Amino acid sequence: MPELPEVETTRSGIAPYVAQQIITGWDIRQPQLRWAVPVESLQSIVGEVITSVGRRGKYLMLNTPKGCVLVHLGMSGSLRVISDGREPGKHDHVDLLLRDGVCLRLTDPRRFGAVLWQPLGETHPLLSHLGPEPLSDAFDTVYLSNQAKNRSVAIKQLIMNSRVVVGVGNIYANEALFAAGIDPRRAAGKISSARIAILVSEIKKVLSRAIEQGGTTLKDFVDSQGKPGYFQQSLNVYGCGGAPCPQCGKRLKEVRLGQRSTVFCSFCQR
């Protein structure tokens, strides 16, 4: 599934082609994705300008004077900038048509993605309970320490909880905990503030590096130009269960935690 770095890579890739462009139409070939596409609301903004392209968690935000189009890529979706008029394929479900001839095309083989509408001045229910962005100043040692205080939940599950902090998906949680030297199974409330500070720093570093490298391509993700991300070449533990630890050489352990694959070094992480 595309995680925060992949979505941010998509945002920065499409923004130069989409921002300040006038919407001339929509071609909605599949109106039922994860949720029904709000066709009438989308048609109501034909003629409006896309003032900016933002992101909240894993949701892309196409902002207009009337409100915001929210796009979620689901399990294997991608947004492509189409400028050569190529015909849509089987899984190309929604086209956003712009005045300069560019088309923003949503491709989603599994149809777990979404195109939604958020009217101006309102917050969509899917965004209303999200925690702070991990790369923002709001996500700091004091904040995460307060969230972890007296909680018995495993630290990995805490940082993957979107109500606590958005966008720290499974890949990046594994990597940040390894870099911080923290056992992902450890109760969040048992971790000192000093170690929480290290974890916050490593989460920011891991996500920033992933964004710089265009995200992680394990199966399906490609950016707005159809190119894969390369952060998988920098992974230390994710997907490496049974391999030698890159720090101590001992065999990495793999367990299931919260129904997700969790890889760590039982010697380096405590």
Nearest to 171 by CA among 191, 156, 153: 156
The verdict on 80 and 189 lying in the same domain is no
Q: Which of 11, 55, 56, 58 is catalytic?
A: 58
Active site residue 134: no
Residue 173 identity? A
pTM of the model: 0.88
pLDDT more than 90, % of the chain? 82
Question: From the annotation, which residues make up the binding site for DNA?
Answer: 91, 110, 151
Q: What's the structural domain count of the chain? A: 2
Taking the C-alpha atoms of 133, 138, 144 and 145 in order, what is their torsion angle to the nearest 10 degrees?
180
Residue 215: the pLDDT is: 57
At 118-150, the pLDDT tens digits run 999 999 999 999 999 999 999 999 999 999 999
Q: Which residue range forms the structural domain that includes residue 65?
A: 4-119
At 186-196, the pLDDT tens digits run 999 999 999 99
Q: What CA–CA distance (Å, rounded) separates 62 from 19? A: 8
The crossing angle, in degrees rounded to 10, of helices 4-18 and 193-212 is: 40
Q: What CA–CA distance (Å, rounded) separates 171 from 55? A: 20
The verdict on 96 and 168 lying in the same domain is no
Mean pLDDT over 1-29 rounds to 92
Residue 133, domain member (yes or no): no
Active site residue 186: no
Active site residue 244: no
Alpha helix positions (H), the chain: 4-18, 39-43, 141-148, 155-159, 170-180, 193-212
The verdict on 228 and 174 lying in the same domain is yes
The verdict on 55 and 148 lying in the same domain is no
Active site residue 3: yes
Burial environment of residue 120 by CB neighbours within 10 A (0 to 12, 13 to 18, 19 or more): exposed
